[in-house]
């Protein structure tokens, strides 16, 4: 099924929950209300003529400077082995309290990818059974893929600042 | 004192009465890099498997946000150092799709040539390490001997043996040097003999088949739900290949078969089929390379590129490439400047590893080694 038809079906089913859709974009997408993500993706997976059975990727995105209000985003790339079509769903969540429903009960692949988005962006996926850091160590503070993340001077006791050669030589000669 | 020495059990691992905790890795020979599997066991039988990843996390996605589009290419090599060519290709395609850059036809053919050579090299490493993890050392040396020849060919093509940086945005960096065609054809002729020898030595060896057949069966629906891709997916009986079904580059002009798992030995979706599918794929790659060498047109190898990419902020595109570890997705969101606002790489190893806890329950430790080896997970790709 082509992208305009998919968007039409989504609009008929969910109405106001589809905030924006773009079929002219490089990859057609629909922006949806974050609270309805689970229902929409479940519909996309189960409807007979859609059957998006392969969740290609869940990407966290920081829309600072791109979308008004500097929200965080979650982007779902979906594909159907049955019908060989693809579609992109985007949701935006506020930066100070990012919450999004989980889809890990629909796709096994969502489990780790949501953990990754939580780890790097701090997006909380409500209903996820095991939401903890995956790539970074558990003691890590903050979410480094956010644009407003500031690198601290030490991370887990290791300095992130490299002194200049002159300073290091001076220290070596003095000490 | 004893309690102090006991290693910390990370959050997320529940240990019940009478269970033993075993750390497999991070430095375990069969984990191919640094991946840690935390096993809770009753005797030799595994109750739960909890992978602990991130030891090789190099923040490649964050580096992309600070690096100009064209300059980022060498970093993509490091995402998957056994299949660097695919990462080059995927990233180049994502940028080209985003900026609407045309690639000359000769460059497309050279890309496919490089891809397929790299696929053979990567699968050869897999064939060697998989059999070595099971306990057969000799096939490893045979496989690496063949891979060395591919390394020589790729070195003649682009000067590098592991991290190629060959495929660039808009084309490729070097043309085919004179005389290389003959060298490639010689290698392909010898490869057929090698495959026959390898099959007789190990693949259909009765001891080996008994060891890996019916181990770690992944049913097709589980494979799809967990997002398994590439050879792992095809071994589970799903007839899908990005090269054929979501075609890119010049693959539609070339003939090749998509290999899927069968139950001739063992059953569909087991460790043996994951090995067999990959071995058969190398033969298909050889077939593709012969066609590419025959059909390759003359012409430029680099398209016209703007000096600096100026893209609308928020414009995004994704590309899919069939790497040796399966469908790899590159997703770029453009920012206002000359570097991506966000780059996302979804790799085959990441999802392949996430299915291990599911199929690792109730098996023996030795079988877990076979399962883990057969999924062809490599650490740099899961961690990025």
The domains located in chain B, with CATH, are: 60-383 (1.10.645.10)
Which of A20-24, A56-60, A127-131 reaches the highest mean pLDDT?
A: A56-60
CA distances B196 to B191, B201, B279, B280, B285, Å, are 9, 9, 11, 11, 16
Query: For an interface test with A, which of B13, B97, B236, B316 has the most A Cβ atoms less than 10 Å from its Cβ?
Result: B316
Asked if B57 lies within 8 A of A135 by C-beta distance, the reply is yes
Per DSSP bridges, beta strands A29-32 and A86-93 are parallel
pLDDT at B31: 65
Residue B35 three-state SS: coil
What DSSP assignment string belongs to B317-372? Answer: EEEEEEETTEEEEEEEEE-SSSSEEEEEEE-HHHHHHHTHHHHTTT-BHHHHHHHH
* pLDDT 10s digits, A98-109: 889 999 888 988
What distance separates the 2 farthest-apart alpha carbons in chain B? 73
Smallest CA–CA separation between A175 and chain B, in Å? 33
Residue B73 three-state SS: helix
Pick from A126, A43, A117: which is nearest to A78 by CA? A43
Radius of gyration from C-alpha coordinates of chain B? 21
Give the neighbor-by-neighbor strand order of the sheet with A18-22: A18-22, A29-32, A86-93, A72-79, A54-62
Asked if B245 lies within 8 A of A75 by C-beta distance, the reply is no
> What are the residues whose beta carbons fall under 8 Å from the beta carbon of A166, sequence distance 6 or more?
none
Contact B123, B268 (CB under 8 A): no
Q: What share of chain B is helix, strand, coil (3-state, %, to 5)?
A: 50, 15, 40
Domains of chain A (ranges; CATH) run: 3-135 (3.30.460.80)
Asked if B227 lies within 8 A of A109 by C-beta distance, the reply is yes
Complex-level ipTM: 0.87
Asked if A59 lies within 8 A of B344 by C-beta distance, the reply is yes
What DSSP assignment string belongs to B225-256? Answer: HTT--HHHHHHTT----HHHHS--TTGGGS--
Residue A3's pLDDT band, with cuts at 50, 70 and 90, is confident
Q: Please give the Cα distance from A101 to A34 (Å, whole number).
A: 7
Cβ–Cβ contacts within 10 Å for residue A172, how many? 8
Which residues of B have a CB under 8 Å from any CB of A? 10-12, 53-54, 57, 59, 61-62, 97-98, 222, 224-227, 238, 240, 245-246, 313-318, 320, 327, 329, 331, 333, 335-336, 341-342, 344, 346, 350-351, 353-355, 358, 383-384
Q: Please give the Cα distance from B300 to B297 (Å, whole number).
A: 10
- The string over B169-191, giving b where at least 16 C-beta atoms fall within 10 Å of a residue's C-beta and e elsewhere, is bbbbbebbeeebeeebeebbeeb
Q: Does A57 touch chain B (CB under 8 A)?
A: yes
Q: Does A134 touch chain B (CB under 8 A)?
A: yes
Q: Please give the Cα distance from A99 to A34 (Å, whole number).
A: 8
pLDDT > 80? residue A18: yes
Task: Among B11, B329, B354, select the one facing A56 at the smallest CB separation.
Answer: B329
CB contacts of B383 in chain A (<8 Å) are 135
C-alpha angle A133/A67/B330, rounded to 5°? 55
Task: Among A75, A81, A112, select the one facing B238 at the smallest CB separation.
Answer: A81
Which pLDDT tens digits describe chain B residue by residue (384 residues)? 455 555 566 666 777 777 788 888 777 766 677 888 888 888 888 888 888 888 888 889 999 988 888 889 999 988 888 889 999 999 999 999 888 888 999 999 999 999 999 999 999 999 888 888 888 888 889 999 999 999 999 999 988 888 888 998 888 988 888 888 999 999 999 998 999 988 888 888 888 888 888 888 899 988 998 989 989 999 998 889 888 888 888 898 888 888 888 888 888 888 899 988 999 999 999 999 999 999 888 888 888 888 888 888 888 899 999 998 888 999 999 887 888 899 999 998 888 888 888 888 888 888 888 888 888 888 888 888
- DSSP bridge partners of A78: A55, A87
Contact B72, B64 (CB under 8 A): yes
Asked if A56 lies within 8 A of B227 by C-beta distance, the reply is yes
Contact A47, A67 (CB under 8 A): no
Report phi then psi at B244, rounded to 5.
-100, -40
* pLDDT 10s digits, B73-94: 999 988 888 889 999 999 999 9
Contact B3, B26 (CB under 8 A): no
Q: Please give the Cα distance from B142 to B124 (Å, whole number).
A: 9
Q: Please give the Cα distance from B384 to B368 (Å, whole number).
A: 24
Pick from B62, B236, B355, B380: which is nearest to A112 by CA? B355
Asked if B225 lies within 8 A of A107 by C-beta distance, the reply is yes
E-assigned strands of chain B? 20-24, 36-42, 45-52, 167-168, 171-172, 316-323, 326-334, 340-346
CB contacts of B236 in chain A (<8 Å) are none
Cβ–Cβ contacts within 10 Å for residue B193, how many? 9
Q: Please give the Cα distance from B148 to B130 (Å, whole number).
A: 18
* pLDDT 10s digits, B192-247: 899 998 888 888 888 888 888 888 889 998 899 898 998 999 999 888 988 888 88
Q: Please give the Cα distance from B358 to B377 (Å, whole number).
A: 15
Residue of chain B minimizing CA distance to A59: B344
Smallest CA–CA separation between A168 and chain B, in Å? 26
Contact A75, A61 (CB under 8 A): yes
Residue of chain A minimizing CA distance to B334: A66
CB contacts of B320 in chain A (<8 Å) are 56
| pLDDT over 70 percentage in chain A | 99
Q: Does A84 touch chain B (CB under 8 A)?
A: yes
Task: Among B222, B333, B383, select the one facing A135 at the smallest CB separation.
Answer: B383
Contact B41, B54 (CB under 8 A): no
Asked if B355 lies within 8 A of A53 by C-beta distance, the reply is no
Pick from A33, A44, A41: which is nearest to A5 by CA? A44
Smallest CA–CA separation between A172 and chain B, in Å? 30
Q: Does A124 touch chain B (CB under 8 A)?
A: no
CB contacts of A27 in chain B (<8 Å) are 316-318
Q: Please give the Cα distance from A160 to A138 (Å, whole number).
A: 19
Smallest CA–CA separation between B207 and chain A, in Å? 34
Q: Please give the Cα distance from A95 to B308 (Å, whole number).
A: 31
């Amino acid at each position: 099924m082509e992208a305009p038809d998919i968007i039409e079906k989504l609009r008929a089913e969910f109405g106001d929950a589809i905030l924006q859709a773009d079929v002219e974009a490089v990859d057609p997408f629909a922006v949806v209300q974050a609270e309805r993500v689970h229902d929409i993706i479940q519909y996309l997976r189960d409807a007979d003529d859609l059957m998006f059975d392969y969740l290609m990727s869940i990407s966290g995105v920081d829309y600072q400077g791109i979308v008004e209000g500097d929200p965080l985003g979650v982007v779902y790339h979906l594909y159907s082995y049955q019908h060989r079509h693809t579609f992109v769903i985007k949701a935006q969540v506020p930066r100070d309290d990012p919450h999004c429903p989980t889809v890990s009960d629909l796709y096994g692949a969502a489990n780790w990818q949501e953990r990754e988005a939580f780890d790097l962006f701090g997006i909380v996926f409500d209903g996820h059974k095991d939401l903890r850091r995956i790539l970074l160590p558990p003691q890590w503070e903050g979410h480094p893929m956010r644009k407003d993340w500031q690198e601290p001077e030490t991370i887990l006791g290791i300095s992130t600042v490299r002194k200049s050669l002159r300073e290091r030589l001076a220290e070596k000669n003095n000490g | 004192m004893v309690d102090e020495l006991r290693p910390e059990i990370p959050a997320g691992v529940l240990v019940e009465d009478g269970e033993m905790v075993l750390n497999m890795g991070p430095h375990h020979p069969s984990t191919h890099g640094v991946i840690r599997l935390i096993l809770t066991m009753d005797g030799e039988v595994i109750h739960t498997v909890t992978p602990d990843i991130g030891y090789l996390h190099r923040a490649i996605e964050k580096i992309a946000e600070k690096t100009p589009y064209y300059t980022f290419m060498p970093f993509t090599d490091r995402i998957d150092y056994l299949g660097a060519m695919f990462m080059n290709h995927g990233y180049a395609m994502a940028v080209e799709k985003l900026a609407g850059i045309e690639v000359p036809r000769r460059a497309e053919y050279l890309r496919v040539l490089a891809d397929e050579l790299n696929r053979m090299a990567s699968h050869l490493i897999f064939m060697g390490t998989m059999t070595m993890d099971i306990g057969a050392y000799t096939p490893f040396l045979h496989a690496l001997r063949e891979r060395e020849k591919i390394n020589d060919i790729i070195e003649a093509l682009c000067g590098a043996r592991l991290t190629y940086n060959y495929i660039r945005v808009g084309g490729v960096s070097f043309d085919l040097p004179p005389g290389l065609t003959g060298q490639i054809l010689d290698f392909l002729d010898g490869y057929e003999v090698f495959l026959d020898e390898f099959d007789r030595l190990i693949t259909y060896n009765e001891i080996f088949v008994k060891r890996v057949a019916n181990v770690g069966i992944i049913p097709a629906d589980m494979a799809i739900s967990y997002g398994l891709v590439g050879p792992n997916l095809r071994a589970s009986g799903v007839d899908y290949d990005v090269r054929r079904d979501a075609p890119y580059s010049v693959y539609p002009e070339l003939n090749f078969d998509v290999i899927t798992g069968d139950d001739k030995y063992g059953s569909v979706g087991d460790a043996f089929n994951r090995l067999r599918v990959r071995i058969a794929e190398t033969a298909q790659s050889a077939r593709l390379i012969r066609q590419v060498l025959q059909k390759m047109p003359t012409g430029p190898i680099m398209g016209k590129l703007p000096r600096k990419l100026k893209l609308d902020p928020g414009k995004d595109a994704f590309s899919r490439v069939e790497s040796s570890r399966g469908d790899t997705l590159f997703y770029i969101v453009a920012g206002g400047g000359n570097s991506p606002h966000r780059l996302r790489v979804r790799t085959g190893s990441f999802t392949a590893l996430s299915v291990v806890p599911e199929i690792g329950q109730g098996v023996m430790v030795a079988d877990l080694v076979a399962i883990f080896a057969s999924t062809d997970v490599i650490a740099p790709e899961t961690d990025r």
